[in-house]
Structure 1
Amino acid sequence: MSPSPTRSLSHRVPDLGALELLLAVARHGSLGRAAREVGITQPAASSRIRSMERLLGVALVDRSPRGSRLTDAGALVTDWARRVVEAAEAFDAGAQALRDRRDSRLRVAASMTIAEYLLPGWLIALRAARPGTAVSLQAGNSAAVAELLLAGEADLGYVEGLAVPEGLDGAVVARDRLVVVAAAAHPWARRRRPIAPAELASAALVLREYGSGTRQVLDAALADHGGLAEPLLELASTTAVKAAAVTGAGPAVLSELAVTEELASRRLVEVPVADVSLTRALRAVWPTGPLPAGPARDLLSLAGGSAS
């Protein structure tokens, strides 16, 4: 004869709310006062006690005009209930401690353009919302950001590439446009007609390194036009690329966010490009799975993230 199926524990044990009500009845000797303590009506309390009695198969409370008294079985169940509730309170306190520890710090990794031009404002807003959260920031290219997240060394990342890196989920937080810029004395700054994609691809440019989001977008945009020629200079930061362009080393391709002041002051001039799209999405990213919790979720919300 095969054994009968076993019901799960949740179907055989009263829920915490019912056990807390029983403990309140034991303290007050009154179902009405117990109901008020746990924040429900007396009819609801009576119904909950009856449901618990049916579940356990024993009478727990004797009701009379003088009040409510625990039966012998009710007194025994109350002793057990007290231990269950105390254990649940310990569980809740431990879980809260874990949440407090999680919420006390936030490790952010961001690609260079986002780290320099967008993230500071978001972090100021986060500090106003969560003054007790300590934030650490590591800046690098988009590939490095993905590596930090996958290694568990960052809670939330920001990247500039064409797509969400493998192993991560993401949300678009901003849109950006890459621009070709040159110093005012460079011949490109005096052109009247836009540069053709093939000419841009064949030119010696000052560029970010492989692995950067800027380089990924530019490589993809010019792949059908011969691909990028050997760079004049290949540098590891937006600031370095911009400085080289300002000094006249050669034309550069940078985020529009990074050159706003230089374009306004004419230290750099934007060079129009024909028939090629250099726009991109800037994304928050995190390891594949649920949305980040705690301060990481708050920072994502402040940045206006929408799942993508």
Structure 2
Amino acid sequence: MDVDLRRVPDLDSLQLLVRVAELGSLSRAGRAHGIGQPAASARVLGMERRMGTALVQRSARGSILTPAGALVVGWARDVLAAAAGLGAGIASLNAESASRLRVAASMTVAEHLLPSWLVRLAAASPGTAVSLQAMNSTEVAAAVLAGDADIGFVEGPDVPAGLETRSIGSDRLVVVVAPGHPWTRRRRGIDAAELAGTRLVAREATSGTRAAAEAALRAALRSKQPGGGWHEVAPARPVLELSTTTAVRAAVAEGAGPAVLSHLAVEQDVAAGRLVLVQVEGVDLRRTLRAVWPSGQRPRGPAQDLLAIVNTTPRRARAR
């Protein structure tokens, strides 16, 4: 419904008029409203001019409403009550938003780093309800871009346009094999070419871990050609593609083949003897872990609190 609002006073002025009716004095109404008598009188005069009718009758004994003024005050009380309800509703929406946090995180971050961060967030903000989605880095970026997550944590080398990022630490990838694998008998480990030519047990193609490992191998094997340009060596096709790090670790332990995984994900298996680390020469397997959020929208509320917790966590606790 279209309404002509040109003759409708603002809420502040209506509230002043109601106080004049209740207190019987422009000066007392002004003081209750936080303004002086001249300002209160000017405000009422402005309403009268806007509405085209007298609202208040002034005298030495005080101020009383005209019949038109009494009608307006009755209507104004309904308008002010509705405005108060609207304000309370808006406040409740903000409170609900402020107490809810949707996090999307890559598998490595979700399994090995986020639990301790969320424990600290719960201690600092016990009323915050957190929902966590664990997925690969590509899916994390998509969820944040779509507005399905307030903040994301990724481990891949590339971040799509539309996201702002902040480095939150580093991670190190390692090569692991089953205890009986021939690589465990090497004195000097393996080089980049042999790793690239070996069919590995790997995560899906959109996994941040796999993308970081393949990018590191390509960088190590890149060579300048005599005629100019660079020669790219693509890693061999995986022997298995699995959707979780747990499945990859289990397949490697059963002898399916080597894998490149975060050291955070395999350190317990290595300590227990279920997996064996293999040294790799000539490949930089370090990677950066990042927080991501939509461009132009700084994290706020619980997302800002979580990011502050991450930033105050010692780096050695983020990537050992």
How far the C-alpha of 1:17 sits from its partner, in A, is 2.8
Q: For residues 158-173 of structure 1, what are the structure 2 equivalents within 5 Å?
A: 158-165=153-160, 169-172=163-166
How far the C-alpha of 1:263 sits from its partner, in A, is 5.9
**CA 1:203–1:73 in 2, change beyond 3 Å: closer, same or farther?**
same
1:202-240 CA distance string (max 9 Å, x none): 233332221111112222233352121122433222233
TM-score, normalised to structure 2, is 0.70
CA distance in 2, matches of 1:12, 1:277: 70
Q: Is 1:121–2:112 an aligned residue pair?
A: no
Q: For residues 31-46 of structure 1, what are the structure 2 equivalents within 5 Å?
A: 31-38=26-33, 40=34, 42-43=35-36, 46=38
Q: Which residue of 222, 233, 237 maps to 1:230?
A: 237
Contact 1:171 1:283 in 2 (8 A): yes
**CA 1:51–1:174 in 2, change beyond 3 Å: closer, same or farther?**
same
**CA 1:293–1:76 in 2, change beyond 3 Å: closer, same or farther?**
farther
CA distance in 2, matches of 1:303, 1:66: 66
CA distance in 1, matches of 2:31, 2:87: 23
Q: Which residue of structure 1 lines up, in the alignment, with residue 83 of structure 2?
A: 88
Q: Which residue of 163, 174, 177 maps to 1:180?
A: 174
1:51-97 CA distance string (max 9 Å, x none): 45236526655566644444555444433432331221121233234
How far the C-alpha of 1:289 sits from its partner, in A, is 6.7
The residue matched to 1:162 in structure 2 has which SS?
Answer: coil
CA distance in 1, matches of 2:28, 2:251: 78
TM-score, normalised to structure 1, is 0.72
1:5-26 CA distance string (max 9 Å, x none): xxx95x7654333332332232
Of the structure 1 ranges 189-198 and 13-22, higher mean CA displacement relative to structure 2 is found in 189-198
Contact 2:157 2:287 in 1 (8 A): no
* Structure 2 residue identity aligned to 1:197: A
Q: Which residue of structure 2 lines up, in the alignment, with residue 281 of structure 1?
A: 289
CA distance in 2, matches of 1:299, 1:188: 42
CA distance in 2, matches of 1:74, 1:173: 63
How far the C-alpha of 1:113 sits from its partner, in A, is 0.8
The residue matched to 2:291 in structure 1 has which SS?
Answer: strand
CA distance in 1, matches of 2:278, 2:61: 89
Of the structure 1 ranges 45-54 and 81-90, higher mean CA displacement relative to structure 2 is found in 45-54
How far the C-alpha of 1:192 sits from its partner, in A, is 6.3
Contact 1:61 1:68 in 2 (8 A): yes
The residue matched to 2:157 in structure 1 has which SS?
Answer: coil
Q: Which residue of 110, 126, 135 maps to 2:130?
A: 135
Contact 2:137 2:206 in 1 (8 A): yes
Root mean square deviation, CA, Å: 3.9
Q: Is 1:53–2:45 an aligned residue pair?
A: yes
CA distance in 1, matches of 2:309, 2:38: 47
How far the C-alpha of 1:116 sits from its partner, in A, is 0.4
Contact 2:173 2:263 in 1 (8 A): yes
Identity percentage of aligned residues: 48
The unaligned stretches of length 5 or more in structure 2 are 222-232, 313-320
Contact 1:106 1:155 in 2 (8 A): yes
How far the C-alpha of 1:49 sits from its partner, in A, is 4.5
Q: Is 1:20–2:22 an aligned residue pair?
A: no
The residue matched to 1:218 in structure 2 has which SS?
Answer: helix
The residue matched to 1:204 in structure 2 has which SS?
Answer: coil
**CA 1:177–1:297 in 2, change beyond 3 Å: closer, same or farther?**
closer
CA distance in 1, matches of 2:72, 2:186: 89
**CA 1:186–1:303 in 2, change beyond 3 Å: closer, same or farther?**
same
* Structure 2 residue identity aligned to 1:96: A
Contact 1:158 1:285 in 2 (8 A): no
How far the C-alpha of 1:112 sits from its partner, in A, is 0.8
